[in-house]
Chains A and B, each alone.
Chain A
Amino acid sequence: MTQPLLLGTFEQLVLAAIMQVGDDAYPPPVLAWIERSTGRAINRGSFYVSLDRLERKGLLQSRPDPGGEGRGGRPRRYLTVTAAGVAALRHARSSLLASWAGIEHLLGEQP
Chain B
Amino acid sequence: VSDFGGPPRLAEALLRRVVPSGWAGESLIADLEEEFHDRAVRARGAARAWYWRATVQLAWAYLWDGARRHRLIRRDTARPDRRLGRLPHGYRAGLLQDFHFAVRSFLRTPGFTLLCATTLALGIGSATAVFSVADTLLLRPLPFPHADRLVDLWSTRPAQGEQRNVVAGATYLDWERDARAFTLLAAYRTMDFNVTGDGFPERLPGVSITPGFFAALDVGPILGRLPSPGDGPAAARTVVLSDAVWQERYGADPSIIGRAMTIDGIPHTIVAVLPPGVTFPEKVGLYAPSPYRVPLTPMDDVDRSADRTAGYLRVIGRLAEGISLDAAQAEMSAVAARAPAAARDPDDPIGVAVIPAQEDLVGPLRPTLIVFLGAVGLLLLIACANVANLLTVRALRRRPELAVRMSLGAGPARIRRQLLTEAIVLALMGGVPGLLLAAWGTRILVSLAPEGIPRLSEASVDSRVLIVSLLVTLATGLLFGLAPTVGFSGRAPSLTLRAGRVRRQPGPELLRDTIVVTEVALALLLVVGAGLMLRTYRAVSTTDPGFDPSSVLVAHVALPASRYTDDATQAAFYEQTLASIRALPGVESAATILTLPMHWAIRGTFHFSVEGRTDPESGALAGYQVASTDYFKTLRIPLLQGRDIAEADQYDHPAVVVINEAMAQRYWPGENPLGQRITFWGDPDDPATTWATIVGVVGNTAKDGLDEPPEPEAYLPVRQVPMPRASIVVRTAGDPYGIADAVRRCLRDVDASLPLYGVLTMEDVVAESLAQRRFRMILLGVFAGAALLLTAVGLYGVISFSVGQRTREIGIRMALGATRDGVVRQVIREGLVRVAVGLAVGAAGSLALTRVIASQVFGVSVTDPITYACSALTLGMLALTACAVPAIRASRVDPALAVRDA
Chain A residues with CB under 8 Å of chain B are 26-28, 31, 43-46, 48-49, 52-53, 62, 64, 68-72, 74-77
Expressed in whole angstroms, the Cα–Cα distance for A26 and B27 within the complex equals 10
- Given A45-B57, A46-B57, also A68-B28 (CB < 8 A): no
Contact string against A for B residues 31-57, beta-carbon threshold 8 Å, 1 for contact and 0 otherwise:
111110100000000000000001001
* Nearest opposing residue in chain B for A78, CB measure: B27
Residues of A within 8 A of B26 (CB): 74-75
Q: Known A52-B20, A62-B24; judge A44-B34 contact (CB<8 A).
A: no
**Which has the most chain A C-beta neighbours within 10 Å: B24, B33, B37?**
B24
* Nearest CB of chain B from residue A31's CB, rounded to whole Å: 8
User: What's the least CB distance linking A67 to chain B, in Å?
Assistant: 9
Q: B residues touching A (Cβ–Cβ < 8 Å)? A: 19-20, 23-24, 26-35, 37, 54, 57-62, 65
Assess the B58–A71 pair: CB atoms within 8 A: no
B27 touches A45 (CB 8 A): no
Residues in B whose Cβ lies below 8 Å from that of A43:
57, 61
Closest to A65 in B: B27
**Which chain A residues border B30 with CB–CB below 8 Å?**
68, 71-72, 74-76
Establish whether residues A49 and B61, one from each chain, have CB atoms under 8 Å apart when the complex forms: yes
Q: Is the CB–CB distance between B34 and A45 below 8 Å?
A: no
CB neighbours (8 Å) of A72 from chain B are: 30, 33
Decide if B62 touches A45 in the complex (CB within 8 Å): yes
Contacting residues, chain A, for B29 (C-beta < 8 A): 74
User: Are A28 and B62 in contact (CB-based, < 8 A)?
Assistant: no
A–B complex contacts, Cβ < 8 Å, 16 sampled: A28-B31, A28-B35, A44-B32, A44-B57, A45-B57, A46-B57, A48-B28, A49-B61, A52-B24, A52-B65, A64-B27, A69-B34, A71-B34, A74-B29, A76-B27, A77-B27
How far, in angstroms, from A95 to B631 measured CA to CA in the complex?
93
Is the beta-carbon distance between B27 and A74 smaller than 8 angstroms? Answer: yes
Q: Indicate if the CB atoms of A70 and B62 lie closer than 8 Å.
A: no
> Shortest CB–CB separation between residue A45 and chain B, in angstroms?
3
Assembly CA distance A68 to B27 (angstroms): 11
Q: How far is the CA of A17 from the CA of B332 in the complex (A)?
A: 70
The binding surface of chain B is classed by DSSP as: helix
Instruction: Return the contact of A70 from the options B19, B33, B59 (Cβ within 8 A).
Output: B33
Tell me the complex Cα distance, A105–B24, Å. Answer: 45
Are A48 and B58 in touch, CB under 8 angstroms? yes
List the B side residues contacting A68 at CB < 8 Å: 30, 34
Q: Which residue of A lies closest to B24 (CB)?
A: A77
Given A52-B20, A62-B24, A64-B23, answer yes or no on A45-B60 (Cβ-Cβ < 8 Å): yes
Residues of B close to A76: CB separation below 8 A = 27, 30-31
| CB proximity of A14 to chain B, nearest CB, Å | 14
Whether the Cβ atoms of B24 and A49 lie closer than 8 Å is: no
- Tell me the smallest distance from the CB of A61 to a CB of chain B, in Å: 12
Bound complex: CA of A75 vs CA of B20, how far in Å?
Answer: 14
Q: Are B27 and A44 in contact (CB under 8 A)?
A: no
Q: Is the CB of A70 within 8 A of B57?
A: no
Give the chain A neighbours of B34 by CB distance below 8 A: 28, 68-71
Bound Cα distance A27, B27 (Å): 9
Whether B58 lies near A75 (C-beta < 8 A) is no
Residues from chain A with Cβ under 8 Å of B60 in the complex: 45
CB pair A75–B23 under 8 Å, yes or no, is yes
Minimal Cβ-Cβ distance residue in B for A77: B27
Which A residue's beta carbon lies closest to that of B28? A48
Is the pair B24, A26 in contact by a Cβ cutoff of 8 Å?
Answer: no
Minimum Cβ distance to chain A for residue B891 (Å)? 54
In the assembly, what is the distance between CA of A30 and CA of B483, in Å?
51
Q: Are A27 and B33 in contact (CB under 8 A)?
A: no
By beta carbon, the residue of chain B nearest A62 is: B24
Question: Nearest 7 A-B pairs (CB), nearest first?
Answer: A45-B61, A45-B57, A74-B30, A71-B30, A44-B54, A77-B27, A49-B61
Alpha-carbon distance A49/B168, docked complex (angstroms) = 70
Given contacts A46-B61, A69-B34, 16 further A-B contacts (CB under 8 A): A27-B31, A44-B58, A45-B58, A45-B60, A45-B61, A46-B57, A48-B19, A48-B28, A49-B62, A52-B65, A62-B24, A64-B23, A70-B34, A70-B37, A74-B26, A77-B28
A26 to B24, CA, bound (A): 11
Residues of B within 8 A of A70 (CB): 33-34, 37
Contacts of A75 in B (CB 8 A): 23, 26-27, 30
Residues of A within 8 A of B20 (CB): 52
Contact residues in A for B32 (Cβ distance below 8 Å): 44
Q: Would you give the shortest CB distance from B207 to chain A, in whole angstroms?
A: 43
A46 to B26 alpha-carbon distance, docked (Å): 18
Query: What B residues does A52 contact at CB under 8 A?
Result: 20, 24, 65
Looking at the assembled complex, report how far the CB atom of B736 sits from the nearest CB atom of chain A, in whole angstroms. Answer: 54
CA of A62 to CA of B59, assembled, Å: 22
Most A CB contacts (10 A, CB to CB) among B29, B30, B57 go to: B30
A48 touches B61 (CB 8 A): yes
Among A44, A46, A69, the one with the most B-chain Cβ atoms within 10 Å of its Cβ is A44
Residue in B19, B31, B33 whose CB lies within 8 Å of A26: B31
In the assembly, what is the distance between CA of A45 and CA of B27, in Å? 14
- Cα–Cα, bound, A49→B62 (Å): 7
A62-B35 Cα distance, complex, nearest whole Å? 20
Q: How far in angstroms is the closest Cβ of chain B from A76?
A: 6
Residues of chain B contacted by A48 (CB below 8 angstroms): 19, 28, 58, 61-62
Known: A27-B28, A64-B27, A77-B28. A45 touches B59 (CB 8 A): yes
Return B59 CB to nearest CB of chain A, in Å. 7
Chain A min CB distance to B34 (Å): 5
Chain B residues within an 8 Å CB radius of A74: 26-27, 29-30
Q: Nearest Cβ in chain B — how far from A35, in angstroms?
A: 11
Q: How far is the CA of A27 from the CA of B32 in the complex (A)?
A: 9
Q: Given the complex, which residues of A lie within 8 Å of B58, measured CB to CB?
A: 44-45, 48
> Nearest CB to that of A43 among chain B residues?
B57
> From residue A64, how far is it (CB to closest CB) to chain B in Å?
5
With A and B bound together, what is the CA distance between A49 and B31 in angstroms? Answer: 14
B31 to chain A, nearest CB (A): 5
Tell me which residues across on chain A come within 8 A of B65, comparing CB atoms.
49, 52-53
A3 CB, min distance to chain B CBs, angstroms: 21
The interface residues of chain A lying within 8 Å CB-to-CB of B61 are: 43-46, 48-49
